[in-house]
Structure formats: C-alpha cells, structure tokens
C-alpha cells in the first residue's frame, strides 16, 4: 500500500465516523457517561459534581447560575493570588489582572492563559453575551464583556463560587 492509498483509506475511515445528518440515531450512539477522550478533560456525572461542589457552586458551575452581586468571597479581594476553578482546580485567573469593576463580581481583564478558558455565545434571557467556561471541566464561570480596562478592554465577570483562590508561590 503506497502513501496515497494509506491516506485515502484513513480518510475513508474517519469519514465513516461522522454523524449522519439525517435518519434516526441508533440508541447505541447516544451520549453516555463514558470518560471524555480528550486528554486532561475532567468529566463527572451530575451526581458526582453535586456531591463534590455543594448546591451553590453546583448551580453556578453546572447549571450556569449567577451568584447575587456582592455576595461572593472574591469581588473585593485584593491579596496576590491565583484563582483556580472550584470544579477541577485548573488555574484560571491571576490577581495581577483583577480590577475593581464595581459590579459586585470578581472582574479580570484577561485569563491566566487564553487556553485556560472557553468562550461561547450565550443567547439566554433575551441577550447576546459571551459565556466563559473552564476549558478543563467545562464548568460555567461567568461572562466576558468588551467594556473592560486597558490593555485588553475586556471584562471577565466571574462568579466567586466558580473560583478558589490559591496563594501565589
């Protein structure tokens, strides 16, 4: 088998795995509780998350809830810290990028690294917003708006309940 044939047969096999756009989906391919194949992803069942997080953080992280303004632990925090995901521990934000937005939620002008978070369009409640999720466990963190300070002009508006402050080394 030459290189080209190998490539073609590989493509053909990948093509077979594409979801069919029409026709009924066999029950066997329905979503299951199997671990996510992407390495490093944290995947738990709803019951496991509930047990690990407690009701309030579960509501924010897994049900896309929002804590009441000024209610969280970190909106007025100024100590040097890294802010990790309360769900999976991934480092998400740095106190160096935190600013007082006056909104009552911890606000950052950028994540620790661009890869730490996922951003997706959120059209709930009749608004178009950009939702911010933890890239490792897909937990809902908050939203990002374009009315932040320099240098990015962004405002990551994050729920305290989704974060866990960790002392900087």
**Residue 18 CA to its chain's centroid (Å):** 26
What gap in Å lies between CA 7 and CA 46, rounded to an integer? 40
Distances (CA, A) of 103 to 24, 91, 98, 99, 158: 47, 23, 13, 11, 10
Chosen residue from 62, 75, 98, 136 binding Zn ion by CB under 5 A: 136
Short-list 71, 70, 88, CA closest to 140? 88
Q: How far apart are the first and last CA of the chain?
A: 55
Interface with Zn ion: number of residues (CB under 5 A): 8
Closer CB to Zn ion, 6 or 113, in the complex: 113
Which of 132, 55, 130 has the alpha carbon at shortest distance from 93? 132
* DSSP tag of 126: G
Query: Between residues 137 and 163, which has the closer beta carbon with respect to Zn ion?
Result: 137
Among 57, 112, 117, 137, binds Zn ion (CB under 5 A): 137
Q: How many residues does the chain have?
A: 169
Binding mask 68-97 for Zn ion (x = CB under 5 A): -----------------x-xx-x-------
Nearer to Zn ion, 64 or 149 (CB): 64
Q: Does 142 bind Zn ion (CB under 5 A)?
A: no
Q: Is 57 in the site for Zn ion (CB under 5 A)?
A: no
Q: How far is the CB of 90 from Zn ion (least distance, A)?
A: 5
- By CB under 5 A, name the one of 53, 134, 141, 162 that touches Zn ion: 134
Active site residues: 157
- Residues binding Zn ion (CB under 5 A): 85, 87-88, 90, 134, 136-137, 139
């Amino acid at each position: 088998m030459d290189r080209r044939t190998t490539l073609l047969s590989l493509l053909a096999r990948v093509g077979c795995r594409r979801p069919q756009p029409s026709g009924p989906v066999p029950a066997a391919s329905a979503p299951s509780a199997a671990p996510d194949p992407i390495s490093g992803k944290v995947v738990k069942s709803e019951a496991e998350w509930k047990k690990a997080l407690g009701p309030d953080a579960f509501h924010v992280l897994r049900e896309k809830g929002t804590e009441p303004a000024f209610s969280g632990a970190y909106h007025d925090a100024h100590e040097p810290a890294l802010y990790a995901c309360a769900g999976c521990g991934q480092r998400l934000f740095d106190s160096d990028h935190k600013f007082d937005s006056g909104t009552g939620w911890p606000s950052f002008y950028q994540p620790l690294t661009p890869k730490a978070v996922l951003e997706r369009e959120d059209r709930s409640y009749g608004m178009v917003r950009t939702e911010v999720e933890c890239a490792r466990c897909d937990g809902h963190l908050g939203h990002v708006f374009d009315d932040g300070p320099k240098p990015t002009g962004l405002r990551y508006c994050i729920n305290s309940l989704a974060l866990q402050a960790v002392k900087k080394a």
